Amino acid sequence: MVLKVYDIFGNKIIILSLVLLIVIVVGVVISYGLGLIRFPISSEDVIRIGFLGPFSGPAADIGKDFKIGAEEAVKDINNAGGLLGRKVVLIYGDDESKVDIGVAVAERLITSDRVHFLVGTFHSSIALAVMEVAAKYKIPYI
């Protein structure tokens, strides 16, 4: 477990990679068990997770912290044998803190990068729009 503390805009933000690890594991297991995954993971060598965040733009510092936490969590998951016996790979998408960009990036992650799941976003407006995209393609979004 990795615990890192960052000071952003005068507030302490704690990134606990274990939390992300638990969310990803629970999401994969539940979605796989309920048959919510769009195409069979069993035929894939890796589990691709699309990770949306503000990696540029006004909230880029927060996106940087999200990325650090996600990378630590995935490292922990893969070191423990992966999920369902598969290596986990993060594919990043920069929403630039803009709803229209977030929607376009989510669509690209699903259609071009063929991710099994979407996670992330910082802004609620982007999260609401991405939820609609994920529902359209029947992709779990955490």
Percentage of the chain beyond pLDDT 70 is: 69
User: Three-class SS string for 76-139?
Assistant: HHHHCCCECCEEEEEEEEECCCCHHHHHHHHHHHHHCCCCCEEEECCCHHHHHHHHHHHHHHCC
Q: Is 38 helix (H, G, I), strand (E, B) or coil?
A: coil
How crowded is residue 74: how many other Cβ atoms within 10 Å of its Cβ?
23
pTM, two decimals, is 0.73
Whether the per-residue pLDDT at 1 is higher than 50: the answer is no
pLDDT in tens, 53-104: 999 999 998 888 888 888 888 888 899 888 878 899 999 999 999 999 999 9
The pLDDT value recorded for residue 22 is 62
CA dist 76 → 49, 113, 127 (Å): 15, 23, 26
